[in-house]
Structure 1
Amino acid sequence: MGTTLTTREVWRTWFARVTVGEFLGFLAPALPGALTSSALVLVLAGTAEGANAVAWATGLAVFAAITGSALTRLLDRS
């Protein structure tokens, strides 16, 4: 009962999900900023945007540290 995925399928699935997640993550602080002219809301939106970028970078670093060279070997097989 195993599922075999090709590298291309994994990357397509990952890319689609990350793209949607990033879009929604950037939309969350942008929408309040676009709907109001309050300086406080714009500052809060910018703070949320920065937190999103830091979270993405941290997640990427942790993923690279956990997978190590396994990811490199996976990509070299394609």
Structure 2
Amino acid sequence: MKAIIRTGFIAFAAAMAMASGSAHAGCVMAAGESVMVTEDLAKYMASAALKNSMSSHGWTPHGDVKVQCDTSSIGLPHCTARQKACG
């Protein structure tokens, strides 16, 4: 009888370990991008696009927002905002 109870506890502990390990399995790297006239405006709009994307999917943000900007092929600032999001 003790062996059955012990086996049950071990199986329960293993199931809980697997469930807690997959808690962040539904996470993605969400992003928003923008091309605007000025770099500040492009950063703002990329961050807004990121926020709208996460809210439309029902994701919650985790960590810091990372914004990267460069000059696009037409000479305007192009910015991409990225953040980890879990749902």
**The structure with more helix, counted as a fraction of residues:** 1
**TM-score (ref. length: structure 2):** 0.33
Larger Rg: 2
TM-score by length of 1: 0.36
Q: Quick check: which one's strand share is greater?
A: 2
